[in-house]
Structure 1
Amino acid sequence: MSAHPLRLLFASAEALPFSKTGGLADVASALPQSLAARGVDVRLLTLAYRDTLEKLQDRRQIARLSVRGQDMSLWEGTVRGAGATALRVWLLDYAPLYARPGRPYTNEQGHEHADNAWRFGCFSEAIAMLALGAVPDTAAWMPQVVHLNDWHTGLAAMHLRRAGKQDSPAVVFTIHNLAYQGVFSRGEFDALGLPPDEWNMQALEFYGGFSFMKAGLLYSDAIATVSPTYAREIQTPAFGERLEGVLRMRAAMLHGITNGIDTKVWDPATDPYLVTRYTADTAVDGRRANKLALQRAVGLRESAEAPLFAFIGRLAEQKGADLLPGLDAQLERNGAQLFVLASGDPVLESTLAKWSARAAGRIAVHLGYDEGLSHRVESAADFLLMPSRFEPCGLNQMYSQRYGTIPVVRRTGGLADTVVDNGTGTDHQAIATGIFFNDADAGGIAYGVDRALSLMRDSARFRQVQQAGMATDFAWGLAAGEYLDLYAQAQRER
């Protein structure tokens, strides 16, 4: 460890174990912990949503700060993952904005909070205040690097750049999903007191509104996204979400760093959620026991031989969830089963619930998020379906491989970077860990399922692909090292 470790403020609107809507929460927990284990002096800054403070160990209030006339509290505590290193956490607490019923970005009916521009604009301003030493109670610790994550934090990059302080920290901005950009109106721009000269197309203005994401892209010293393939894709009109021009302009600062996973939390040999724990050597018997237990628990017909597919994630067009019901006849014809653990689009939720009711015993659906159940699914399913129309990185395909579930994925983004297709050729087959299909449509996913069923009929080959996946190293070590290099580059740029 260096005598003077790097001081890093890592800001994210969600982070486990405090909040989660998607993979950002996993990354915002595991990456800072991996960096802390390497000697970085990290503060994870996130928001105190409803029931969040109770999850913070050894908490104490360390500061109060006024943001846009609102008196907010800052709490400090620790969280310890499966590893030995405790992570220091700062929670920004202002109940009227953040501790509401519902989820971090939506109300109980699933609609976005009408004042999300204000909620996350204030969060961004608070990030900048803490980073610049403008809060007296925390000014003794000032970061050298601020790592911002996704649109919710994008305006902080603008505030830090416009502060014009010679000793202001370098800023790294990570795009976890370019499709969510935080685009709001001129009225909301004015309400946040943003500088009028930022309202132009070379700055924050974006097709008649303004964009938090664009602020992060324009004003950061380095930009990362969560896989090399996605970094290339988002510079094209097909994936750039109307920001491809900005990304091409900043291409020299754009880096694709594939996410890792927390291999201590996701370890079938020690996982407390599993009915039967197992290693690569005992996977056949262990996974059989978990499969039968899952089938029994969720109402599927108990059969170790029936091919069991799973889908875990958001019910959204991006994830290709709308393609699942089209598999009904193919699955029935082959005696295959499907378990869906997901939530999202209300129409899709209703469609899937009706499908499972009609096809009881072979289709089962659990609507909602359940961390323990997601672990049990990864230990039990034969195949994980990920028919994403685009996928910045994806984590479930890495969890699956570690647990011996074979991912069946569309060849895009991080899926293309983390799965090796079971193609032809001896050398390629020796390292294959999953199955690709190319088209995000009914024919594409049906082709992927057909390839999976063919693989399962070849038990020796199925076992070989399963073992290759379980042997793949998805730990955060490599990505953490790449981020340390990026922090150093950002400091040089600054």
Structure 2
Amino acid sequence: MYMKILFASSEVSPFAKTGGLADVSYSLPKALKRQGNDVSVITPLYRTTIDKGYEFENIIDLKVDHLGKTVTVEIMRASAFNDFNALFVRYDPYFDRETLYGKEDAEFNDNLFRFALFTRAILELIASLEDKPDVIHLNDWHTGLFMPYYKEYYQRRIGQIRTIFTIHNLGYQGRYKIEMFKKLNLPDRYLKKDYLGEDGTFAIIKGGLMCDAVNTVSPTYAREITTPDFGYGIEDDLKRIENKLYGIANGIDYDLWNPATDKEIPANYSRDDFSPKRRVCKPQLQKEVGLEVRDDALLCGMVSRLAKQKGVDLLIEMFLDGIPDDTQFVVLGTGEQKYHMSLRDITLANKGRISVIIDFNLPLARRIYAGSDVFLIPSLYEPCGLSQMIAMAYGTPPIARKTGGLNDTIIGITRPEDILENKATGFLFSRYDFKSLRSTIEIARDIFSDRDMWQKLVINCFEQNFSWDVSANLYLELYKEQG
């Protein structure tokens, strides 16, 4: 069944990106279109997008009620982009800035109003269309005001619509002080706990729970967020809608992540011949990042936002306690300043064995996926995660904590026979402490010393299929069920 889909997200690759949301917001719509659907994606037009040199055409100017006045926004289209119909909300006072959400560790103080305008612009666009979408797919808190505004101001103009809301990371809720609510021009009843209100604040993400269906990005995470450990204060709200709460794991785009065609790595390889991975990619990576060139050392790679959620505390504690024998580490990422400082000091004290690069460097990230022996993901929680899937696509077994999507996508080794029986694809640990991380790395190192066993594990990784086509089919089923 053909569907007309409007997908709304605050960031979309390749136009603007700070994290995995942008990757999902590109790859899922692309897969949905590939299956014959009419797919439009709408996102703010940021300065960083304009600076990339894309050509844009104006589709329509819209009058939007915002903060007690009427403002004009432009709806633009990327004219030479064919993966899907790429639409943009242009309002320079809000989106013509150096970064998407803020600077350093502080968000812009008007983010609530920036994304309130973004949401109302989407509703005005839908109201202006004769041929309206069959389903509107909303993503994360930035689109959480869609349903409150629709219920209050647009339901009669637009009519009935099907809506899906995806929670990519419940740790980011768009939570603000009550005083800011008045400017949104919504009735006070939305401050009740059953709507947006929560302990003297209001959380925009709760508006998304009013949609016809709510999903998270893995089945395990969908269960976890209904518990106090993972619910971030709204677990009761999520428990209340459990009958319409789903979990669909993300996928990866094998056109983008393929070691056989990747132009950023020093030697291409595939499942049929992956000897260049260890023979060429590993020593080249060691040289590039300043590690001792050693084939026998287990090279552990990590590409991550440097934040508590990603398990950086565990990594630092393990480094300070002592590095496991015959191992090396390369870490790439940016994040909180306290982690930058700690990791720099650790690197200086462990030259040749630990290399930390504080940078957002996609070409180097690809070389880390290709050149590492294992890939570290010691997350406190992980809604889905893409890096473990990318690592396996590059024949790099992940070492990860057993949580969220990591639990759904990695088959952990419980005994060596799991590898030989084509089951295991990586290493999982449950306790959130550095000793568990260390012991799991040591288990991987011991298996790594058995070359035949390790090669079989690498083949198991290559044979996994995390194609977005699989996920897209599940989303289509979810869309249709709401009709």
Deviation at 1:425? 7.2
Deviation at 1:457? 1.4
Mapped to 2, the partners of 1:161 and 1:478 lie a distance apart of 33
Deviates most, 324-333 or 14-23: 324-333
Q: Deviations over 1:263-310 (max 9, x none)?
A: 110011111111111111221223431111111111111222221111
Alignment equivalent of 2:384, drawn from 390, 393, 397: 393
Deviation at 1:179? 0.9
Unaligned runs of 5+ in 1: 134-138
Match of 1:188 in 2: 180
Match of 1:112 in 2: 107
Residue 113 of structure 2 corresponds to residue 122 of structure 1: no
Deviates most, 441-450 or 375-384: 441-450
Distance of aligned partners of 1:79 and 1:478 in 2 relative to their CA distance in 1, 3 Å threshold: farther
Q: Deviations over 1:396-438 (max 9, x none)?
A: 0000011011100001110000000112274674220000111
Mapped to 2, the partners of 1:450 and 1:425 lie a distance apart of 14
Mapped to 2, the partners of 1:368 and 1:64 lie a distance apart of 38
Deviation at 1:332? 4.1
Would the aligned equivalents of 1:10 and 1:45 in 2 still touch at CA under 8 Å?
Answer: yes
Q: What amino acid is aligned across from residue 414 of structure 1 in structure 2? A: G
Deviation at 1:455? 1.5
Q: What does 1:34-45 align with in structure 2 at a 5 Å threshold?
A: 34-45=31-42
Match of 1:278 in 2: 269
Q: What amino acid is aligned across from residue 249 of structure 2 in structure 1? A: T
Would the aligned equivalents of 1:64 and 1:71 in 2 still touch at CA under 8 Å?
Answer: yes
Q: What does 1:2-401 align with in structure 2 at a 5 Å threshold?
A: 5-55=2-52, 57-67=54-64, 68=66, 69-77=70-78, 86-101=83-98, 103-107=99-103, 109-133=104-128, 139-162=129-152, 163-165=154-156, 167-217=159-209, 219-328=210-319, 332-401=323-392
Would the aligned equivalents of 1:132 and 1:168 in 2 still touch at CA under 8 Å?
Answer: no
Q: Aligned residues: percent identity?
A: 36
Q: What amino acid is aligned across from residue 407 of structure 1 in structure 2? A: P
**Could you say what secondary structure the match of 1:385 adopts?**
strand
Q: What amino acid is aligned across from residue 100 of structure 1 in structure 2? A: R
Residue 410 of structure 2 corresponds to residue 419 of structure 1: yes
Would the aligned equivalents of 1:383 and 1:408 in 2 still touch at CA under 8 Å?
Answer: yes
**Could you say what secondary structure the match of 1:8 adopts?**
strand
Deviation at 1:355? 1.1
Residue 464 of structure 2 corresponds to residue 478 of structure 1: no
Instruction: Work out the number of aligned pairs and report it.
Output: 476
Deviation at 1:487? 0.7
Distance of aligned partners of 1:188 and 1:66 in 2 relative to their CA distance in 1, 3 Å threshold: farther
Match of 1:407 in 2: 398
Q: What amino acid is aligned across from residue 386 of structure 1 in structure 2? A: I
Distance of aligned partners of 1:477 and 1:383 in 2 relative to their CA distance in 1, 3 Å threshold: same
Q: Deviations over 1:324-358 (max 9, x none)?
A: 12233776451311111111111001111111122
Q: What amino acid is aligned across from residue 145 of structure 1 in structure 2? A: V
**Could you say what secondary structure the match of 1:92 adopts?**
strand
Would the aligned equivalents of 1:17 and 1:55 in 2 still touch at CA under 8 Å?
Answer: no
Would the aligned equivalents of 1:56 and 1:79 in 2 still touch at CA under 8 Å?
Answer: no
Match of 2:436 in 1: 444
Q: Deviations over 1:159-189 (max 9, x none)?
A: 2233333733211000000111001122221
Unaligned runs of 5+ in 2: none
Mapped to 2, the partners of 1:17 and 1:270 lie a distance apart of 19
Would the aligned equivalents of 2:302 and 2:368 in 1 still touch at CA under 8 Å?
Answer: no
Mapped to 2, the partners of 1:240 and 1:168 lie a distance apart of 30
Distance of aligned partners of 1:474 and 1:190 in 2 relative to their CA distance in 1, 3 Å threshold: same
Would the aligned equivalents of 2:7 and 2:138 in 1 still touch at CA under 8 Å?
Answer: yes
What is the RMSD computed on CA atoms of the aligned residues? 1.8
Q: Deviations over 1:164-222 (max 9, x none)?
A: 337332110000001110011222211121222212122211211111110101x1000
TM, length-normalised to structure 2: 0.95
Mapped to 1, the partners of 2:237 and 2:79 lie a distance apart of 38
Deviation at 1:17? 0.7
Q: Deviations over 1:10-63 (max 9, x none)?
A: 000011111112111110000000001111111110111123125474421112
Deviation at 1:226? 0.4
Q: What amino acid is aligned across from residue 207 of structure 2 in structure 1? A: A
